[in-house]
Structure 1
């Protein structure tokens, strides 16, 4: 865009003169179109309806400004709200001033219109700032021009990137400025996903966006703990490296210095795509270069890990062992000269000794590896994959190291033994046990997914069930402060050595059998264990107050006792105030006498 207008002090005067010379006319609404390059303005449905009713009674008092674009067709320059309300009011014609204007002049007029309003809505500010950018202004210039911080300017720019639905929610005061700004930081797909999952019923009278910070956190990821190389620009070529991504909060440190030490990704899909690709690349690289003997996975696989496992069928044939049951060993590392520098001089003697020791250890390590006393394992954990080594003879558990491939080769070569086949049977049994665990994980994950889809809308929730009541007891139990939790559990389950060591089914059954008296005890222990329950500034304290009253505690006596103390104090305060007033009267009398 040509930026000459922003540097020309006579631009506004020239435009004003052009508008004065414009032609007044009445033209049909159907012949007026919106500028396709203009950012759409947002108005609440109610405000437009109210304005439309006024127009029906009084008509349009101030002419719209339009410019001709082709024969008998016009493009709106100023007056979008009036035009929209006129359409709602079913007006056939509207008063206009027809003016010949260039694109640059139109932009100047619309920019001036947006900036001249008093107390504009943040979205209108965002519109004006976007227009200033089109006019050639950078953030520094916009900040100086509007007298606002660069951080606020950037936030307004981000607001313009809200999707249509969130802009409407914001204009209708369903979202506040903080929520709208935070949502604007999400990528378009995440915004759509958030809206569909949590806000699609926002026009309903009973709509509430409960737990917004927690919901938003599900769409943000800490790049400092990313399971992939954030500087790798080739994981997803279109996205590039994270250190230059606009969805990385660390790239905004010049505008928001407090974010300099943080690195939060607000592009959920990109983050998890990179995580998945990185894990698959790591597994492929290890399997291509190494002969892996053992697989070590967490008890619960993440969705990314489960998907990666399915892409490498050979992994399913490996014996699966608990990583911490293995006696791991590390390949010797070659000493570096930097570690033996003293006053910038190399200690040759100690360095030579270290190199000799390293070569000896490396030779021993290779021997153990070739003899089968040390084997290689592939560990999948926290969405990463790594190669590790472990001693076969020093395994802590009774894991079996035989592979299906080795058994097949032994059968083919006629070298299979009963011991080998016994190991194969144990391997198959262990694999089946692990597969059953994975089946259970997949079942519960699917139930959880469908549960959220079905019951996140309150309209789909049926009456309270027995299981809901048991779940409520469990949730309350989970809220027990650590300092009293064990004592409360012992009181509720006196015959249990350790409630936390019971399996899930037994825990559910035990909680379901709690009597109303035990449930009341649990509630009261949780309430009393929360520090805010004794501070009247917090709602928790008032819940405890009402529970105490209903439980029969003589709250009135406590209030009466404190009331008597308050009366004595108030009497003293009244006497002191009277004394001060008397002193004031005396001082005023003395002042009059002196005068």
Structure 2
């Protein structure tokens, strides 16, 4: 019965690969061979084997396969990785990805030399450096017990992460020096006709190792004496026309775009030339940026401001925990002057936006200083208390909580006795009419039951 149920589920048109993988594994655990399973569902043995491999995915990746964020061919590659490496991929690649991206991630994670950029570029030549060629390096798995590197180069891997990283950085610096001309040097203006190296801040989802490698590579390039700028801070936005497009060439000639070079790919060094639109308000007749130092000063000031904001945020977060965890509410003494001030601020900020605007305060504006307003307007305290009460008793919560309804009656019976009496009488009269009508109907129904009996 169990086997029949699973087989029937597998024959649905909408069955997803993860569900298939689970079902095949269940049949295999019950003693069915791969050939048996394949024959029963009309698929090849290889198909069944590949599906079962998907059970090796961590739950987060299984869900992403179901959602279509990860293609099936890419999922097959990921299923072969250990749990920690899968978790690393899931953290680094939060959005939809392609099989090519997954292959690149795996290649970089396992330091496959066949996909290393210096091997692909045929530049595994490190003259005048202390770096060994991969073909002669003892960290190359294909040099372990084999005299001929070329015979095993297809499966070559580096087993020394520090050596691999060193070659990646050396590849970047060497390629920049040998293949790119007219690069802007440190301190030079971004004169039209030159090329500037660009690099953005590391993304927040990057792993720590990736961030460290990025910073090391940037530092190595800076040591060469070249200027590195963040394009988002210097330019308006990216131009998506290709380098040989007539429109790009025209804008280059007119000083509307600037040629930029980036060297950091998704997982490994990757050189790309792109173009960015110049900000007219900061450009001069000869340079894309009138004063690079002024932009740097603005950047530093923004970083200083952000550093202060971080201190405030961390302080607020820590004291928020105090408010949750410390037994402050157990104190039995009268409110201190500061406690009364804080309470008044809480009450005032809880008033309606319409009322607060009359006081030149804004409810959702962090710049409104409620504390100073309370300090300087103590005589108006009872007024904003009443505004707070009105806000609470006019909210939708009144429809759901009986204690608020009781508060309404207590307050308005005292403050507006005539209106309260008139409302009470109106509702009572309405209720009496409805009650009388309904009771008459009940009486009719009861009489009908007696007659039937």
Q: TM-score range by the shorter chain?
A: 0.3 to 0.5
* TM-score (norm: length of structure 2): 0.42
User: Relative to total residues, which structure has the larger strand share, 1 or 2?
Assistant: 1
TM-score (norm 1): 0.34
